[in-house]
């Protein structure tokens, strides 16, 4: 995999995203680049120390926990000042962006959209306290609209990490449910050689489906496409606007 970019704004959400990225980079044997989005004078005012000191702080426990990573690059605020996200991705050969999220569903949406709307690579949203002990990854999509690049990405990632990965076929509203034999035939034709399993789901309520997947089937890492009905259902911005919304890590593709 290409390098991992951590969007860091010196808030607590960025702290656990940084540690998560360290663990993931170690597993995938790839470089982790930390982009500081806060001007250094402000950083000093907020913390009474330098940006590098903040990254070295024991509260992060980042370097102690991730000694196996050989390449970690810390960018200063001025290193990316005036550069678009596309330019940063191209310059540093980024294949994945990681951002910490927290708060209500509406607040999470506001934190993610500026990155999702300007990124050409997937964004991993990491909630506070998310465990890195990933064992079961799930791509939520209607099989008829499932993306080959997402399946390929997830297949390679799950193989590198030695974990299970599945495509959960959730029928889009207004479309007929696919019978198991038909779904299997379509999956085998579209994704020849994929490491993913196909799970054909009849339930159309995405919130109920996610609850079953997470609490009964043990899915601990969700993969979705931006603006898909599955993503909208997983994080129902309007209905959960004022609710604290705990969720598992979600890898969101811009397509």
* Contact yes or no for 250/206 (Cβ under 8 A): no
Last residue of one domain, picked from the residues 127, 145, 171: 127
| Domain hosting residue 30, numbered range | 3-41+49-127
22 sits in the region (left: phi over 0; alpha: psi -120 to 50; else beta) called alpha
Q: 249 is written with which tokens?
A: 């890590």
CATH of the domain at 212: 3.40.50
Instruction: Provide the domain count of the chain.
Output: 2
pLDDT band for position 236 (50/70/90)?
A: low
Q: What share of the chain is helix, strand, coil (3-state, %, to 5)?
A: 40, 20, 40
Q: Is residue 123 located within the same domain as residue 170?
A: no
Convert the pLDDT of each residue in 48-104 to its tens digit: 444 444 444 444 444 444 444 457 788 888 888 889 999 999 999 999 999 998 877
pLDDT computed for residue 48 by the predictor: 43
pTM for the full model?
Answer: 0.82
- The arithmetic mean of pLDDT across residues 179-202, rounded, is 94
Q: By three-state DSSP, how is residue 134 classified?
A: coil
How would you classify the pairing of strands 221-225 and 136-141? parallel
3-state SS class at 203: coil
Quick: pLDDT tens for 110-154: 888 888 888 889 999 998 778 788 899 999 999 999 999 999 999
Of 68, 102, 127, which one is at a domain's C-terminal end? 127
User: CA 208, 213, 217, 218 torsion: positive or negative?
Assistant: negative
Predicted local confidence at residue 33, as pLDDT = 94
Lowest pLDDT segment from 36-45, 168-177, 221-230 = 36-45
């Amino acid at each position: 995999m290409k390098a991992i970019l951590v969007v860091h704004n010196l808030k607590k959400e960025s702290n656990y995203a940084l540690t998560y990225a360290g663990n993931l980079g170690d597993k995938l044997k790839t470089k982790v680049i930390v982009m500081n989005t806060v001007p250094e004078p402000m950083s000093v005012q907020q913390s009474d120390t330098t940006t590098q000191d903040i990254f070295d702080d024991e509260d992060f426990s980042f370097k102690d926990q991730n000694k196996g990573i050989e390449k970690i690059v810390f960018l200063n605020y001025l290193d990316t000042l005036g550069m678009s996200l596309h330019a940063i991705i191209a310059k540093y050969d980024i294949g994945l962006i990681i951002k910490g999220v927290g708060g209500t569903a509406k607040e999470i949406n506001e934190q993610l959209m500026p990155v999702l709307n300007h990124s050409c690579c997937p964004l991993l949203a990491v909630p506070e306290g998310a465990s890195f002990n990933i064992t079961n990854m799930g791509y939520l999509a209607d099989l008829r609209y499932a993306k080959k690049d997402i399946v390929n990405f997830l297949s390679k990632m799950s193989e590198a990490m030695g974990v299970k990965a599945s495509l959960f076929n959730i029928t889009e509203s207004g479309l007929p449910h696919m019978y198991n034999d038909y779904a299997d035939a379509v999956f085998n034709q579209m994704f020849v050689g994929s490491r993913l399993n196909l799970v054909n789901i009849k339930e159309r309520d995405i919130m109920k489906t996610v609850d079953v997947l997470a609490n009964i089937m043990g899915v601990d890492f969700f993969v979705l496409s931006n603006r898909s009905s599955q993503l909208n259902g997983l994080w129902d911005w309007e209905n959960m606007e004022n609710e604290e919304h705990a969720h598992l890590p979600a890898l969101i593709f811009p397509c």
